[in-house]
Chain A
Amino acid sequence: EVQLVESGGDLVQPGRSLRLSCRTSGFNFGDFGVGWVRQAPGKGLEWVGFIGKKALGGTMYYAASVKGRFTISRDDSEGIGYLQLSSLKTEDTAVYYCARSSGWLFASWGQGTLVTVSS
């Protein structure tokens, strides 16, 4: 069974950093891309970023709203994806989901982890 489990969400102050993890099981992690999507309280879905599989160069893409502040990475040996959040703003408050990507499609999702940015 394909599983993705996010962790690392927390209450943090504006300007601080946080690292989210996406631990996976049930599939060969290295064969897939990993995407991140967030959802602010009561709002819709917002694409955050994506990292491709290493066989295709592991290219990263970011939404304009997070570019330069967030960094996506992956550890294929452990089957874990990461989202490093820096210079956090109150508007970054959201549930963050990771998703396994088949091609560019987000096919399987984790349950999400809540990041709250507040002083």
Chain B
Amino acid sequence: EIVLTQSPDTLSLSPGERATLSCRASQSVGNNYLAWYQQKRGQAPRLLIYEASTRATGIADRFSGSGSGTDFTLTISRLEPEDFAVYYCHQYASSPWTFGLGTKVEIK
């Protein structure tokens, strides 16, 4: 099973600042099948990034993903008020599919 470790647990930032979220896998993620989801309180997760760096349809270009193998990063270039949420990384390269524990981006 691929274990995903996200850091930090919480990121306290102000609107307009840059957010950098990390996701480290316990073994290489095949084909870079690594996705990032955003979840707001009381809502379903929303796909932001797939295959490590491809933005999903309709996702603003301030969201970007990078990395390969075992180290992946989600960057939000300039935080908007609606970006404060919990972010999960997820590998879909091999069963069992797994999620990280999440990084909460909160308003400082």
A22-46: which have CB < 8 Å to B?
A: 35, 37, 44-46
Residues of B within 8 A of A61 (CB): 95-97
Chain B: residues with CB nearer than 8 A to chain A? 33, 35, 37, 39, 43-47, 50, 56, 88, 90, 92-93, 95-102
Interface of A is mostly: strand
Query: Which one of A44, A104, A109 contacts B99 once the chains associate, using CB atoms below 8 Å?
Result: A44
Kindly count the residue-residue contacts between A and B in the assembled complex, taking CB atoms under 8 Å apart. 55
A residues adjacent to B (C-beta < 8 A):
35, 37, 44-47, 50, 61, 63-64, 97, 103-112
Query: Are A104 and B45 in contact, with the CB atoms below 8 A?
Result: no
Q: In the complex, which residues of chain A have a beta carbon less than 8 angstroms from the beta carbon of B101?
A: 44
Interchain nearest-CB distance for A37 vs B (Å): 8
Nearest Cβ in chain B — how far from A81, in angstroms? 15
Contacts of A110 in B (CB 8 A): 44
Once A44-B101, A45-B90, A104-B33 are accepted as A-B contacts, the answer to whether A64 and B96 lie under 8 Å apart by CB is: yes
Q: Can you list 8 A-B pairs with a CB-CB distance of less than 8 A? A: A37-B45, A45-B88, A45-B99, A47-B98, A61-B96, A61-B97, A64-B96, A107-B50
Query: With A44-B88, A45-B90, A104-B33 in contact, is A109–B46 under 8 Å at CB?
Result: yes
Q: Do B47 and A107 touch across chains, with their CB atoms under 8 A apart?
A: yes
